[in-house]
Structure 1
Amino acid sequence: MYDQIAVNKFKSAGLVVFFMALVLAVGWAFAYLTDAGPLGLVLAVVVVFAMTWGSYWYSDRIVLSMSRARPVDREREPYLVNIVEGLAIAAGLPTPRAYVIDDPAPNAFATGRNPQNAAIAVTTGLLEKLDRLELEGVIAHELAHIKNYDTLVQTLAAVMAGTIVLLSDWMLRTMFWGGGRRREGQGGGHAILMLLGLALMILAPVFAAIIQMAISRKREFLADANGALLTRYPDGLANALRKIAADTNRLSVANKATEALFIYNPLRDYGGGLNSLFNTHPPIEERIARLEAM
């Protein structure tokens, strides 16, 4: 467990470095393709520092706000408070803040930079459609993410990937509507660099998404296993996953930046082959099979 925590902290640092480099590269491309001069690089540096600082300290608040999550009402949802507190004690963790998303689609996620600043959010659909053993399985899964520091890695990835998407989109719109720089007569080398710069601005969000998805897929299997060990009842989580996957309601607050945080992808699965690079979660059938084999 401690080795896994150390690995995740190392991955968090590596993730920050990767996204910082990607933002700087996009800034260079913007500066090269327009007459902005050093403005693109200066903007990228500012974004890098703001993104890194903000992601670490405020990413949980950002994600909870984007998901329109409200603090749990102890009078209306006492069973949720009871389950979160009881399982947190069993896991040896500080009790995370509990939030509820008013949405009929059953789903849940955890966020926070460390166990002392963690939060778990569940939808009203999850509370209404799962029995107690199934709900315990879901909460235990999210507590496993918190204990392993998965929440730090995944939340940083979600916020940083979203920032890169917005930055690249703004720069592309600025370049095309404002006009790119003309480089007639400056040789084929400049043309190649212009093509590379344009490709980088277009593909940067794709690279960010692939990294984010890969991180999420690997963490789900471990959180399933650790959550099942915490409750000592793997069937609870397996049955919960069946119900969540079979539900036809679409999560209204779902978006591309936060989809990887949820216990089940609230948007869509891209299938197998190369398309699987964009899947945020492993196949639900494989997750259930592993739980049933425990």
Structure 2
Amino acid sequence: MNTSAARISAIGSYVPERILTNEDLEKLVDTNDEWIVQRTGIRERRIAAEEEFTSHLCIRAVLDLAASYKGTLEDVEMVIVATTTPDYPYPSVACLVQNHLGLTSAGALDINATCAGFAYGLHLANGLITAGLHRKILVIAGETMSKVTNYADRNTCILFGDGAGAALVEYDAENPSFEGAVLGSEGSGGKHVYRSGLAASIEGIPLEGEGKIYQNGREVYKWAVRTVPEGISRLLEASDVGIDGVDWFVPHSANLKMIESICEKTSIPVQKTLTSAEYYGNTSSATIPLSLQLAQRNGTLKYGDRLIIFGFGAGLTYAGLLLKWGVQD
């Protein structure tokens, strides 16, 4: 039974101006456009300027949201930012955004669920609003993945880009967006995709790199194409909704070939899938809101459409939500 009292009422996004093409990457590592497109579906990605950081992208995404939102953001009570690439260990990106927007009465916190971060943020916002603790929450996902990417590693540098997306979640008991959720984690797989930090090893396995991304793509792929279809099945069963009742599937845009495999296993037509990887790359927590904003802008995504968003990534962790789209044109 749906007991939500929260609706996603607005969305916005921002990507940096600089474009990094597959042809540009050919000058950095042993790769080529055909190889990258065949394996990932990615053609371009956006790259933040040297002095442009995650908070800057998040602020621009909120300003984009505000430009189309008919209400005010002055009464926002909480700012939640999903990111793995904060400007600083602290202060949080959320506090930097809160300060820039002048939201003097808003709480602020960052969450790190990697590529599942946006879905986790929406889930938290729904819980806080439905519980009656808050009435309006900004959920933002922003990443500057280029700053933690090793551009000598051809297996990872072809994947990642920078960007941010923002959603407004507010109280609406009559037309709630949230119809179901499934969340989970598999920490034993943390050694397959990580960014090195203070610890020298995971489960005795030495970590590579200095603050850069390391990924065992084969193992992550195997986990995702098994876990995501299972999660979707659980989500639909618990919500008593059939796959034919879903208008759009919005997965984390890690790799378009991976998404094709997930669609095949779930019987979701690829034509019903919204993605952002082709021209933005893998922007981690930001891929889902970027996909939603692209579809909103081109008229593909309509008010009242039912969709599944499903984030999955390092941790290993995942979160899937069944939603009714609440953003009006």
TM-score strictly above 0.5: no
The structure richer in strand per residue is 2
Greater helix content: 1
TM-score, normalised by the number of residues in structure 1: 0.27
**TM-score, normalization by structure 2:** 0.25
Kindly name which structure, 1 or 2, has the bigger radius of gyration based on alpha carbons: 1
Q: Which has the higher contact order (CA 8 A, sep 6+)?
A: 2
